[in-house]
Copies of this chain bind each other. A is one copy, B any other.
Amino acid sequence: MRMRTGVEQAVYALMILGLLPDRAVLSGEAISSRLGASPTYFQKLLRKLVQSGLVMSVPGAKGGFRLARHAGEIRVYDVYVAVEGQQSLYTSNGLFDSLVVHDEEPGRCMLAQVMEEAEASWQGALKQETVESLKKQIWMDYPNTSGALEEWAQQNSVK
């Protein structure tokens, strides 16, 4: 049970997109090369972000991607769901029913209840942080080097 690298790439990609001027876009290749990620696989991640409504895509020459809504309205949890899906961490395998309940209708797996509460608590933490809040924290901690990233993003954007 381990979170995959896609979530991290997606979060930082959204942060970069949040640095663009209004209506400007960045190509997938530009972002992936800046992240040091696999270009083709990163395109698939972008597709997921588009289909989840987090980013807008512009096809054709001088096309690219931009945020579909303000960075402050994109929670880390939204990114996680977009990339990994909304399935829960734990899914019961029905052991409980075969152990205890037989003739009655399928009962509630007690372990599932505990797991769901734990996951809800986990999700709650991810819902409190947004791409914007993450960015602000970085800008506060690294004021010197973070400016270079913003400059790069605006220079590589089009429109």
Mark A residues whose CB is within 8 Å of B.
1-5, 7-9, 11-12, 16, 34-37, 76, 84, 87, 89-93, 95-96, 98-102, 104, 107-108, 110-111, 114-115, 117-119, 121-126, 129, 134, 137-138, 141-142, 145-146, 149
Known: A2-B89, A95-B8, A145-B101. A117 touches B125 (CB 8 A): yes
**Whole-angstrom distance between the Cβ of A124 and the nearest chain B Cβ:** 7
CB contacts (< 8 Å) of A35 on chain B: these are 95, 98-99
Q: Tell me, in angstroms, the Cα distance from A76 to B119 when the chains sit together.
A: 14
**Whole-angstrom distance between the Cβ of A126 and the nearest chain B Cβ:** 5
Q: A12-B95, A16-B99, A101-B145 are in contact. List 6 more A-B contacts (CB 8 A).
A: A2-B87, A2-B91, A35-B95, A35-B98, A101-B142, A114-B126
**Whole-angstrom distance between the Cβ of A61 and the nearest chain B Cβ:** 27
Decide: A76 and B107 in contact? CB cutoff 8 A: no
**Whole-angstrom distance between the Cβ of A48 and the nearest chain B Cβ:** 14
